[in-house]
Amino acid sequence: MDESELLALRRRIDAIDEEILKLLAERGRCARRVGELKQGAIYRPEREAQVLRRIASLNPGPLPESAVRTIFREIMSACLALEQPLKVAYLGPAGTFSEAAARKHFGSAPQFVPLASIDEVFRETEAGNIDYGVVPIENSVEGMVGVTHDLLLLHPLQICGEVMLRIHQHLMSLAPSLAAVKRVYSHAQSLAQCHEWLARHLPDVPYVPVASNAEAARLAAQDPDAAAIAGEAAAERYGLTVLAANIEDDPNNTTRFLVIAKHDAAGPSGRDKTSLVCSTPNKPGAMHRLLEPLAQYGVSMTKLQSRPAKSGLWEYVFYIDLEGHRLDDPVRQALAALEERATFLKLLGSYPAAAW
C-alpha cells in the first residue's frame, strides 16, 4: 500500500467535501429566497421532475443514476424544507410500502404522518391538516386498488405526482428458522403476491390477513411463533430477522402510488400524465365515440379501467390515464371533445410521470 498516495487522496476528499458543503449552503440560501419570492404553493412537482431528469442526464459516473437521483432528491427535500415545511400523510402504520413511496417521492425532510386508512389520508388532506397524501392506486400483480379509485371520484382533491415502487417482500420473524414458524401475518395482497413461495415452503402454516404489512410485522414482534411478510423497513423498525428475502412470486412486482393534494402540476414538465374519470351512456358504439377524440388528436391512452358507479345497478365509470399535460395542445383539444361526448367527466389532474 502506498501510504503517501492514500494520504493525498484522503486530503483531496476532505477538500471536496468542504467545497460540497459550501455549495449546499449556497443552494439553501437560493432556495430560501425563492420561497420568499413565491406566492401560493412552494412545492412545484413539475420543476422537481425537471431537475431530477436533468441531473440524471448529466451524470458522468462512476456513481449509478439511481444513486445520483437519491442524493439530489435529498438535497432538494432539505432545501424545500427551508422554503415550506411539509406534512405528508400515508397509509400507516410506520414501515409500510406507502411510507417507502412517500419518502422516495419527497425525500426525508417532510413530517410524515401515518394514518389508519386511505379514506383518512383523503379526508385529512382535503381538510388542510395535511399538505400531501400518498396512496396506492394499482399493483402490477394484483391490479387496481378499488378504494383509491372510489375516493378520487368522491373527493375534490387532485393528483400532482406518481411514484413507482418495486415491491420486495420478505419473511421476517423472531423465530430462529422457517421450521419454527406456526403462523404468517400479512396484508391480503402480499399473501397473494407470495402465494407460490408460501405453498412451497410453508404449505401447512395458516395465513392471517391484517390491515397492513407494518401491522403484520408489529404482531410478529409480539409473537415468537409467528412470521410476517413485509418490507425491509418493517423488519428494521420492529426488530425482526429476515428468514427469507425477496419471496414475491413476480420479480417485477411494482406498485404505483399517487400523490394527492388541493392542486395538480400547474405546468408541463416535459413528460407528464393526465388522469380523468368519466361515464357514457350504455348503448352500442358509446365507448368508441367517447374515445375517438384521443385518436383524432394523437393522444396516447395508457390506462382504461372500469369501476362500478355508485349511482345504480350495472352502471360504470371509466378511469383513463393519458400521456401529456392538460395544457399541451393535443391533450387540451382531446379533453374538450371528450367532455362534449361524456355524460360525466371529472379531471383528476395532470402531473409528471414517475421519473425513477
Catalytic positions, please?
Answer: 255, 257
Question: Residue 50: which H helix or E strand, with range?
Answer: helix 45-58
Question: Residue 70: which H helix or E strand, with range?
Answer: helix 65-83
Residue 166, number of CB atoms within 10 A of its CB: 13
The CA–CA distances, whole Å, from 323 to 22, 25, 177, 329 equal 40, 38, 48, 12
User: Exposed, middle or buried: residue 142 (CB in 10 Å: 0-12, 13-18, 19+)?
Assistant: middle
Euclidean distance between CA atoms 216 and 242, whole angstroms:
14
- Sign of torsion over alpha carbons 277, 281, 287, 292: negative
Residue 1, number of CB atoms within 10 A of its CB: 5
Q: Of 214, 233, 88, which Cα lies nearest the Cα of 163? A: 88
Euclidean distance between CA atoms 188 and 242, whole angstroms:
20
Cell numbers representing residue 348 in the block: 383528476
Q: Is there a contact between 234 and 240 (Cβ–Cβ < 8 Å)?
A: yes
Question: Cα(first)–Cα(last) distance of the chain, in Å?
Answer: 40
Euclidean distance between CA atoms 217 and 223, whole angstroms:
10
Three-state SS letters, 94-150: CCCHHHHHHHHHHCCCCEEEEECCHHHHHHHHHHCCCCEEEEEEEECCCEECHHHHH
How many Cα atoms sit within 13 Å of 356 on the Cβ side? Answer: 22
